[in-house]
Amino acid sequence: MSNREALAALEWLLEAGADEAVGEEPVDRFQTAQPVPAEPSATPERAAAPAPAAQGASAAPPQGMQEPAVWRPAGQGPLQPAETVLREARDLAAAAKDLDSLHEAIRTFEGCELRKSASNTVIFRGSKDPRVMLIGEAPGRDEDIQGEPFVGAAGRMLDTMLTSAGIAIEEVYITNILFWRPPGNRTPDTREIGLCLPFVERQIELIRPDLLLMIGNVSVKTLLGTTQGITRLRGKWFSYQHDGLTAPIPAIASLHPAYLLRQPAQKRHAWRDMLAFRAALRGEQPPEIG
């Protein structure tokens, strides 16, 4: 393998989420796996063995055979159903009276399985008293390491777009739909999104921004409750509302910077969205709600 091929293979592994070494030497799991014993063939003696006297009674194993190991729980109760965990997330979010207590509730919430594989809980960066709230999708590798959203290559592009449009980072509250990185940057599933959504909605309630900027497919679909994709919805204004808000908030959808890094030709569309957002923020052009 050439150096170029080796580097390409390493980059592929990093993109797939294999970004940490767990041992000094590679381990061949096929060599260390224990062989599964073959099931003994039926014999006349086994075939003639009497059945248990009653249903549910345990029969002794045939002579010469060991009783198979049976897993038994170590005293713990049944796994919590999704409804119970979702209720816990809603209760924790509703109980938070300010952003600091809400952030602490997110950090201590253990109902989402993603936190077990994540290095950090990624909540927000920017201002706690903003006019603008920006909501992306989920943390990536850099965000998981640093504990802040949009700090990698996509984050640098986002900052450049905001500052070029005359929007100071200090005026924006930046967060994501998810607070923990999905392994390998995979698309989050609906249960993971549902468990984080009460905390996202409570952030919006406490901040009450003048405008919302929804970045990426997951953010737009989740907040608008739609199945339409971002390419159809980008550049359009919507009236965002949920039960905890006393009044709707104008919200615009736009493309995710990570997508723009892969599809540079789409930057012109995202820039138009940013200019429309700036015009609405400055009062130059009221949002035209679709």
Q: What is the pLDDT of residues 129-180, one digit of tens each?
A: 999 999 999 999 999 999 999 999 999 999 999 999 999 988 899 999 999 9
pLDDT over threshold 60, residue 50: no
Domains and CATH numbers, the chain: 83-281 (3.40.470.10)
286 — pLDDT class (breaks 50, 70, 90): confident
Mean pLDDT on 227-235 = 94
Mean pLDDT on 195-209 = 97
CA separation for the pair 98, 283 (Å, rounded): 28
Amino acid at 98: D
241 — pLDDT class (breaks 50, 70, 90): very high
Mean pLDDT on 182-208 = 95
The model's pTM is: 0.72
E strands, 72-131, are: 125-126
pLDDT the model gives residue 25: 74
69 CB-contact burial (10 Å; exposed 0-12 / middle 13-18 / buried 19+): exposed
Write the CB contacts of 183 (distance below 8 Å, at least 6 apart in sequence): 17, 114, 117
pLDDT over threshold 80, residue 261: yes
19 — pLDDT class (breaks 50, 70, 90): low
| pLDDT > 70 fraction of the chain, expressed in percent and rounded | 78
Mean pLDDT on 70-75 = 52
Question: Phi/psi class of residue 272: alpha, beta or left (left: φ > 0; alpha: ψ in -120 to 50)?
Answer: alpha
